[in-house]
């Protein structure tokens, strides 16, 4: 055998070996996504949910409580979030094309448009399916990163990368294949922001599992430092007119 032939064979073998981990990771990622989809309730039941409505409470650090109301719609990713205490209500809305807020805690009673960064963050969070299944459906980059311990649980860790550069590290429970932790990294107003989300107490709504407890905080925060969302009631396929998500007209302007 000529030296050139040996070199080419060795090169092919090295290339093949180098490709094995990437191929295996891709297959493992898709297997885990399929198991996550099945665990949530399956593609048909998930697709059958055109809208979802949650009510409950938010417990902020220091045991400061607010009532909570949330509505999401599948067809355009529209969403409305409201948190209230002592007659004041913080509202954030996304109508599928633009986002707005009313924040009386900053002394503002009129609705105002949100920045492009804040709008994209709200839109990304508004999907009914969640970041993992939504990203997979849209063909975004998803990689399996192996196992990682989370509070004594050897989770499956996946990285979701959106075209915008937003990255989610999603941790799946090895027994249920449901999300129990998400680390979200995005750029807001020129600075990198990392948000930790812990999810639990999954309950079925029309055959689909949703987390009924969600803790949110900084990447190094403790439970005492985070805001905790506790859902006490959920309804699927509630009527949601376009006006629900539209930016209110206050004082004769929009």
Residues 6+ apart with CB under 8 A from 171: 148, 150, 155, 156, 157, 158, 179, 180, 181, 182
Which CATH superfamily does the domain covering 6-244 fall into?
Answer: Lipoprotein localisation LolA/LolB/LppX (2.50.20.10)
What is the three-class DSSP state of 190? coil
**pLDDT one-digit tens code per residue, 75-115:** 999 999 999 999 999 999 999 999 999 999 888 889 999 99
**pLDDT one-digit tens code per residue, 30-69:** 999 999 999 999 999 999 999 999 999 999 998 899 999 9
Strands (E), 24-140: 51-60, 64-73, 79-85, 88-94, 99-102, 112-113
**Strongest mean pLDDT among 6-10, 27-31, 203-207:** 203-207
User: Is residue 199 within 8 Å of 179, Cβ to Cβ?
Assistant: yes
**pLDDT one-digit tens code per residue, 200-246:** 999 999 999 999 999 999 999 999 999 999 999 999 999 999 999 99
pLDDT the model gives residue 108:
82
């Amino acid at each position: 055998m000529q030296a050139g032939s040996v070199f080419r064979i060795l090169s092919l073998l090295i290339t093949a070996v180098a490709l094995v981990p990437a191929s295996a990771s891709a297959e493992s990622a898709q297997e885990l996504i399929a198991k996550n989809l099945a665990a949530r309730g399956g593609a048909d039941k998930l697709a059958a949910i055109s809208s979802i409505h949650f009510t409950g409470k938010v417990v902020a650090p220091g045991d400061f409580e607010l009532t909570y109301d949330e509505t999401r719609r599948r067809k355009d990713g529209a969403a409305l979030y409201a948190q209230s205490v002592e007659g004041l209500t913080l509202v954030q809305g996304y109508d599928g094309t633009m986002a707005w807020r009313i924040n009386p805690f900053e002394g503002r009673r009129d609705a105002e448009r949100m920045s492009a960064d804040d709008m994209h963050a709200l839109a990304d969070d508004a999907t009914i399916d969640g970041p993992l299944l939504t990203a997979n459906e849209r063909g975004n980059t998803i990689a399996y990163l192996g196992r990682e311990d989370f509070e004594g649980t050897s989770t499956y860790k996946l990285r979701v990368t959106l075209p915008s550069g937003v990255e989610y590290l999603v941790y799946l429970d090895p027994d249920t294949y449901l999300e129990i932790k998400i680390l979200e990294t995005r750029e807001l107003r020129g600075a990198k922001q990392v948000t930790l989300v812990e999810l639990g107490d999954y309950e079925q709504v029309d055959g689909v599992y949703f987390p009924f407890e969600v803790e949110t905080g900084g990447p190094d925060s403790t439970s005492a430092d985070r805001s905790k969302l506790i859902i006490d009631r959920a309804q699927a396929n509630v009527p949601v007119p376009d006006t629900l998500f539209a930016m209110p007209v206050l004082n004769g302007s929009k």
